Each structure stands twice: as C-alpha cells, then as structure tokens.
Amino acid sequence: MKEIIQSKLDRMSDLQQRRILKNMMLDVFKGIIDYQEDVNQEIENRLFNEIQDRDDNFTIYNTIVKREKLDIVSDCLFPMKEEDYEEEQYDKKEILEKIRNNEPVKITKIYLKKSYPELIKMEREKHKFKGLIISEDKEIPIDIVLQHNEEYIAIEEEMYKIFMQNAVRWTTINNPYIRKFYDVVIAGCQEDMGELNEFEEIVFDLAELEEDKCVGYVPVWNIKKTTIKGEGFPLPTKDKVNYEHVIPYKNLGYENGYLLAPNQNMISLRKNKDGIIITSNESNSIVWELFAVLQENNSLINDQYEFSLLSNKKKKSFVDSFFNKGDKVIRSYSELNRMLKSFEVTNDLQIKGINILDDLSALEKDISYDFNSYIVDEIRADKFRKVLVIEFEAMELDYLKNDLISFITSEIQQYFPEYICKGVID
C-alpha cells in the first residue's frame, strides 16, 4: 500500500501539492497501513504454524569421522554404535582357531570411497586379495575377501521401527556412507600354521582399491539416546484411566524431535511449552528412555567435516508443509518436481521424464538402489507391480551421484507403492 501511495505521489507534477498530500497521506494512513501489515503477518504466522510440518523436528544429519577424532563430549553428532568409541579389538587365539577350522574371520571394517556401480561390479567379481599373518619368525599368506557390512543398516532399520512405534512419519535417511562399509574377512590360509598361537599383526593389500579404502572411520548422526525421569507426580488424564508424565526441557530442547525407545508403556508422546508429555497407564513416576533427534546446533550446518555432512532436511515452505499435512497424492510432473526439490540436497536435481516398464527385466541399466530396503511391502507382490523409471537430468556430481538419485527415488517410492521405482541418470 505504501508503494502504491508513493507511486501516485511521484506522478504529481506540482511539487507543493505533492508535499502537502504526502504529509497528509502519511499522517493519516501510515498507522492504519502498519497495523494492517502486522495483522496480516500475524495471520500468516498462525496459519503457517497450524500446518507446520512435524518433520522439521526429525531431520537426521550424518557423516563419517575418523575414530580418533570422535568427540566424547559432543552435543550434536554421536556414533551410530556405542562400541565405536572404542578401538577395535580381536582375539588372536580365536582368529587362529577359526582359520584352522576353515571358518571366515572378520578382522576389521573399511569404508570404500567408490560409486555404487563400481561397488556392485566389485561384489559381482568376488575378488580375493592377499594378506599376511606376521609373527616373530614367519609370515603366513592368507586370502582376504570383502563382505558388505550390514550392521549400520540394521541400526537404521531399528530406528525406522521406533519412528513407526511413535507414529512419526518416516522420511528416508540420506545416509549413503553406511552402505559403503565392508568387512575385511580372512577367507582362508595358504600354508599350514603349525603350532602358531600368537602373531604380531595382520596386513592386507586391496590392490586397485587401496587408494579408495578408508580405515578407522565410523558413521555418526545427530540421534542421542538418553534416560530421564518425569517431574513431579503423573497427572490423571481426562479419561481417568491413563496418566500424563511431564519431562521438562531442563537438559533438552524444544526444537528437537523426541522418540520413546521400544518396550515402554507409552500411549502417546507430544510436546508443549512445559515439556515432553508422555501419556501412559503407568501411575508411578519412572525413568524413560528417549531418543533425541538434535536439531539446532551450529555444528550441524557448518563445513568442518572431512566427509560432507548429509541430511534429509527439507526446505521450509508453506506449500510443502500443506502437502505433507494431508498426505496428498502426486498426479503430475510439477508435483513430482516440487516433492523432489523440497529437500535441500536435491535442489539442483530435475526430473526429465518417467517411463513405465512391465517388469525389471526390461530395465536397461540399474543404477539406483533402495535406501529403505528394510521396509518390506507385505501387501503387494513384486511380480504384479510395474516399474516406474524416473529419468533425471544429467549433472556433474561426485562419487555419491548414484546414491543421491537412490535417496530421492526411495523417497518417491513411498508415494508410489503400486510401482517399483527406479532412478536413472546419464
């Protein structure tokens, strides 16, 4: 309104009249205009807050860090496994015993800085690498193989189940790192070890993979497990059957997302200005196990990590919040691209087109994989589902290109359960 008035005044040729009218207009209408703008802003804020996406509190950040650089007093990123704070230990006698019994023995794990197609090719070729068991008086050649590490994916799967138990919408975790971990396994020994029951070390050579192996790294994320007791006595709810346990924000934060750990007597969990409210039929004040998904911390947005800090963070948008609130159905390319660009990490991606294939055998190249492979569709059988191929615009990305495509394709998959979704990019 101010701009309109100013524009009208600017077109007046008589400067004296312009000055008089300007003073009059501003004196009379400025207060009214300011008041109306404040009211409009308040209505906008109330409307936005009313449909605010709950996912805001559950953005998950992750990266990998060198074990010796793990910060034990960190208040933002934590190892996915508590055991990763400690150096890997192995029992030498147990290793030798298993080798004698021709049993495979895991000795460590590594991160391979390779693209998804390169890793798939490596797994299919089933390479054997050379290694040595070094003792005081001899070196014994051994065969080394790499086996895909599943332990961190299993932890992520457990977190998915916790999200479901807490009735919180699951957003695909953008964590390609844990999918590039491999166990280094002794597959066999080429010589008789004799009476050997002690050795100094085990060394191995991964040939062409040597320069891409990262040893001693562990995955971290912004999920912290904590235990805390409710404050005061539990208060009966309106139904006179259950009780509300209040956990104040003394050592917590309102901005974080909270999930109750499994096997606890919870009916619901919500937040208000007083604290976290857990509704339960438990009448006594007890200690609760919580998972806090930490959000507001400068360490979660700066660039201080050796490997990029990735997340499933969504851009704050009224349209996206409104869309997510109602679980709307995607019917057009524009809606699909809107969903694609709702994530910060996929802002530069663009969908070029989609194709429908009868089955996976018609797919010329398979360059994406399912980040949510542990979510099993128990209703629809794959043999009855057609394949939805999503073609992305070509762009320059690093070795995580296929993983980024896989991340967004996995998220799209949740909107199209009637198809098997696959992503392709030139």
237-252 per-position pLDDT tens digit: 887 789 999 998 887 8
Say yes or no: 68 and 198 in one domain: yes
Token pair recorded at residue 328: 């709307």
Containing domain of residue 25, as a range? 1-51
What share of the chain has pLDDT > 70, as a percent? Answer: 93
Is 309 inside any structural domain?
no
Q: DSSP code of 16?
A: H
Q: DSSP code of 417?
A: T
Looking only at the bridges linking them, the beta strands covering 139-148 and 129-134 are: antiparallel
Question: CA-CA distance, 75 to 299, in Å (whole number)?
Answer: 9
Q: Which of residues 192, 220, 248 is at a domain's end?
A: 220
The answer, yes or no, to whether residue 326 has pLDDT greater than 80, is no
Confidence of residue 44 (pLDDT cuts 50, 70, 90): low
Mean pLDDT to the nearest integer, 361-373: 88
The answer, yes or no, to whether residue 388 has pLDDT greater than 60, is yes
Is 371 inside any structural domain?
yes
Q: Mean pLDDT of all residues in the chain?
A: 86
Q: DSSP code of 250?
A: S
Domains held by the chain: number = 4
Say yes or no: 91 and 204 in one domain: yes
Residue 233's φ and ψ, nearest 5 degrees, are -85, 145
Beta bridge partners of 260: 290
pTM for the model stands at 0.82
Say yes or no: 394 and 328 in one domain: yes
Say yes or no: 16 and 115 in one domain: no
Strands annotated E in 149-221: 181-189, 201-205, 213-215, 217-221
Is 306 inside any structural domain?
no
Question: CA-CA distance, 342 to 320, in Å (whole number)?
Answer: 7
Confidence of residue 380 (pLDDT cuts 50, 70, 90): confident
Q: Which of 28-37, 81-90, 210-219 is predicted least confidently?
A: 28-37
The answer, yes or no, to whether residue 323 has pLDDT greater than 70, is no
Say yes or no: 328 and 408 in one domain: yes
Is 206 inside any structural domain?
yes
Q: Which of 45-59, 146-160, 339-353, 392-406 is predicted least confidently?
A: 45-59
Give the end-to-end CA distance of the chain in Å, rounded to a whole number: 50
Mean pLDDT to the nearest integer, 185-211: 88
Say yes or no: 178 and 67 in one domain: yes
Say yes or no: 370 and 421 in one domain: yes
Between 205 and 33, the more confident residue is 205
Helical spans, DSSP H, in 303-360: 318-326, 333-340
Is 23 inside any structural domain?
yes
Is 354 inside any structural domain?
yes
Q: Report the sign of the C-alpha dihedral through residues 81, 85, 87, 91, in that order.
A: negative
pLDDT of residue 117: 93
Among candidates 426, 402, 181, which has minimal Cα distance to 410?
402
Say yes or no: 216 and 230 in one domain: no
Confidence of residue 58 (pLDDT cuts 50, 70, 90): very high
Say yes or no: 199 and 74 in one domain: yes
Confidence of residue 8 (pLDDT cuts 50, 70, 90): confident
Q: Which of 29-33, 159-163, 188-192, 335-339 is predicted least confidently?
A: 29-33
Mean pLDDT to the nearest integer, 76-90: 90
pLDDT of residue 311: 93
pLDDT of residue 22: 75
Beta bridge partners of 62: 221, 310
Say yes or no: 203 and 343 in one domain: no
Question: CA-CA distance, 221 to 79, in Å (whole number)?
Answer: 6
Is 211 inside any structural domain?
yes
Question: CA-CA distance, 290 to 282, in Å (whole number)?
Answer: 16
Q: Which of residues 198, 220, 242 is at a domain's end?
A: 220
Between 296 and 48, the more confident residue is 296
The C-alpha angle with vertex 99 and arms to 96 and 100, in degrees rounded to 5, equals: 90
Q: Which of residues 293, 325, 343 is at a domain's end?
A: 293
Is 308 inside any structural domain?
no
CA distances from 337 to 57, 157, 177, 244, 333 (A): 24, 28, 26, 42, 6
Mean pLDDT to the nearest integer, 8-18: 74
Residue 329's φ and ψ, nearest 5 degrees, are -90, 135
The answer, yes or no, to whether residue 328 has pLDDT greater than 80, is no
Say yes or no: 98 and 203 in one domain: yes
The answer, yes or no, to whether residue 17 has pLDDT greater than 80, is no
Looking only at the bridges linking them, the beta strands covering 386-392 and 419-425 are: parallel
Between 222 and 73, the more confident residue is 222
pLDDT of residue 164: 94
The answer, yes or no, to whether residue 233 has pLDDT greater than 90, is no
Mean pLDDT to the nearest integer, 245-265: 88
Say yes or no: 151 and 88 in one domain: yes
